[in-house]
Structure 1
């Protein structure tokens, strides 16, 4: 393991302060919007610890302390203890199934006095760490079956445990790590196959599956006839056709017998198969009304009527983007999305300039997780993806999510500060 000591000209000399500034800006935006979302004239102060914005202030201050602690650690600490951290979170994910508290239909929290710990949030950090440690090892090639299935097992174990809670949103976040595997050499055909499966899933719910099967078979036969001189390719197309047909029939079974009733209802509403503006479709409908009412410049801070009268449930957590859209308008929403885009591009730039494979892989893991959270959270508030209940990074209310995102980001900032050194798991 090579030396990764800090620069002698000063510990903070190489810290990427632009990324730190983006982090602090997003936290500040989050706190102001949480304050507005839950504002009560009876508690007009900016820091009232009996309110969500008062508690979020504590979470932000503790996150900053946590970030400083991370920056003081040696780079080797993260790769050395990656396996131990992963095992701890797996144990916590098992424990939450036994002693966890059920909130909103998910048994995902461990009560610790007045605070509730959500292990699934920290599992994202430890999974990215262990995945980076494994993939940066010598003789690991993601194109080889053994390496691929080992990496898939690292990602799949916490996914399985979180699915048992059941927390579909947090489970799906781990799927974003496919981009890490792609960066490390996984064939792009995997991404194409995943995209086609999503399209086929939607088409199966919208149209008669018999017609789809006939269409797939005809398309497959046409491709095979066109490529009849290339027997190996023809065989691959034939196998793909059979898998597609099997997938079409399995979708209905999964939809009818595996998905929960509320999940089916959300998918039906998203695809326009049913309209339910009073029950399952209520959140999304009110969310779109709130965002649309903000128009170009918004109604102004503390002036959101949809926010003030609690028309949108979970206003300070999963649907915090509604407050941004209503009070800051289209312009404010664009600024917030622009900040996220800048942060993601910055993370990719940081990842690519690393000399250590571990740091590069970890950086892509951070970017993938944040990208998924941002796209899905904003997408569900505007009604383009099903409501699966995941927080908007650094903006939504919650201690576990803010701490986990802070740890995730600042480990990357720390690794980047010593990027001229290399770290190896061997």
Structure 2
């Protein structure tokens, strides 16, 4: 039974408040990062902070539309939404605008629209629809393959547009499928592949292969429950093949700037002079970002008082490197508060997802939390130099209408789905 009284206001306001806290504080930092030191003119629409303010106002209308649509619409038409989204990605190869080497935008009048941002929500809906189907069982290999195909199509299309950062985000769906019963072997393989890749690049394929052989042989003979010999041989073949193959992938597949970013992250260059030169050439943004964050200290320099921010030392600071503005002007305390709000939002979405009576809503909720988590983890890790530099925005924080609207759609569809549970007696 559905309540008739005030049913349109029965939404999870904690999630909504956390969303607007991030959007509001993000705008303040965009204002600071794009401020030229002159008098702030909110109606000067050549400035990013004024444009972002318009995007935020339009977001309010978008939220009203999303929450006004019947919740069943998103489940019923999820496949159509996914197909339309994929067609928009394909259309970029014909009508897309190239920006910074990536053909990821449509030019519409005086603005640009990035369909890869919206494709994440469409993919989350499609995955939720397929996994929640009565005839699907994620523990079956056939259904695993079909689910992987749903995820792989947008990931490959985005990768072909030279947008590696957005491609990586699709790995977030692994957490969703794992929650729904994906066999643990996939988790083990993912961790193993990551470790082998890092070790192969850092210490060489030969040393990594030898260590792998020793570990697998030791496990086979020392384990209480000995695995079949064919299984051990297969694992041995796969691990050694990956150790050798990752070097080929690094040298022959990755582009030079991607190689340099990984090389800097793993400190593959042993010559300190060359390493310092590489930092100035390929990691200028990162170096300046780290300096800006460290200059903020514990309490920060104060709003609009960051010398490295006002001096424009960090390129693209209002977009992918927006967190460096937080670090300089708001210090460790402000940075910690931003991290806490993000964590609270992710935990809140996961908590609500577990409360859902519909598997579709639960799977979609996990998709929302996982996508936000992946963006949050990669962006902040990148800005602080903890992971290789990947061009990816901080959700609700970085400048850009496409990113803000895409995350709004992603999150508020789930809020609408969750409202069904709240409205029921």
Q: Offset of 1:164 from its aligned partner?
A: 0.3
Select 2:281's aligned residue among 255, 279, 282.
279
1:229–1:63 Cα change, 3 Å? closer
Select 2:240's aligned residue among 224, 234, 245.
245
1:351-370 equivalent positions in 2, closer than 5 A: 351-370=353-372
Larger fraction in helix = 2
Q: In 1, Cα distance between the equivalents of 2:338 and 2:113?
A: 28
Does residue 27 of structure 1 match 2:29?
A: no
Q: In 2, Cα distance between the equivalents of 1:47 and 1:350?
A: 39
- Matched-pair contact (CA < 8 Å) for 1:325–1:332: yes
1:116-265 equivalent positions in 2, closer than 5 A: 116-227=112-223, 230-232=226-228, 234-265=229-260
Q: In 2, Cα distance between the equivalents of 1:40 and 1:62?
A: 25
- Matched-pair contact (CA < 8 Å) for 2:10–2:422: no
State the SS of the aligned residue for 2:279: coil
- Matched-pair contact (CA < 8 Å) for 1:37–1:308: yes
Q: Offset of 1:50 from its aligned partner?
A: 2.1
- Matched-pair contact (CA < 8 Å) for 2:37–2:310: no
Does residue 266 of structure 1 match 2:268?
A: no
Equivalent in the alignment of 1:377: 379
- Matched-pair contact (CA < 8 Å) for 2:379–2:392: yes
Q: Offset of 1:212 from its aligned partner?
A: 1.4
Q: Offset of 1:55 from its aligned partner?
A: 0.5
Select 2:50's aligned residue among 46, 50, 54.
54
1:43–1:91 Cα change, 3 Å? farther
Does residue 403 of structure 1 match 2:405?
A: yes
Q: In 1, Cα distance between the equivalents of 2:21 and 2:218?
A: 55
Q: Which runs of 5+ in 1 are unaligned?
A: none
Q: In 2, Cα distance between the equivalents of 1:48 and 1:72?
A: 33
State the SS of the aligned residue for 2:112: strand
Q: In 2, Cα distance between the equivalents of 1:237 and 1:332?
A: 50
Q: In 2, Cα distance between the equivalents of 1:90 and 1:43?
A: 44
- Matched-pair contact (CA < 8 Å) for 2:96–2:104: yes
1:258-337 equivalent positions in 2, closer than 5 A: 258-274=253-269, 275=275, 276-337=278-339
For this pair of structures, how many residues does the alignment match? 417
TM-score if structure 1 supplies the norm length? 0.95
1:261–1:366 Cα change, 3 Å? same
Equivalent in the alignment of 2:416: 414
Q: In 1, Cα distance between the equivalents of 2:2 and 2:78?
A: 21
Equivalent in the alignment of 2:272: none
Equivalent in the alignment of 1:96: 92
State the SS of the aligned residue for 1:107: strand
Q: In 2, Cα distance between the equivalents of 1:120 and 1:417?
A: 27
Equivalent in the alignment of 1:394: 396
- Matched-pair contact (CA < 8 Å) for 2:264–2:279: no
- Matched-pair contact (CA < 8 Å) for 1:85–1:126: yes
Q: In 2, Cα distance between the equivalents of 1:152 and 1:123?
A: 15
Q: Offset of 1:237 from its aligned partner?
A: 2.5
State the SS of the aligned residue for 2:36: coil
1:375–1:87 Cα change, 3 Å? same
Q: Offset of 1:236 from its aligned partner?
A: 2.2
State the SS of the aligned residue for 1:278: helix
Q: In 2, Cα distance between the equivalents of 1:8 and 1:340?
A: 34
Q: In 2, Cα distance between the equivalents of 1:230 and 1:381?
A: 45
TM-score if structure 2 supplies the norm length? 0.95
Q: In 2, Cα distance between the equivalents of 1:231 and 1:180?
A: 29
Q: In 1, Cα distance between the equivalents of 2:91 and 2:38?
A: 39
- Matched-pair contact (CA < 8 Å) for 1:47–1:57: no
Q: In 2, Cα distance between the equivalents of 1:284 and 1:210?
A: 32
Q: Offset of 1:154 from its aligned partner?
A: 0.4
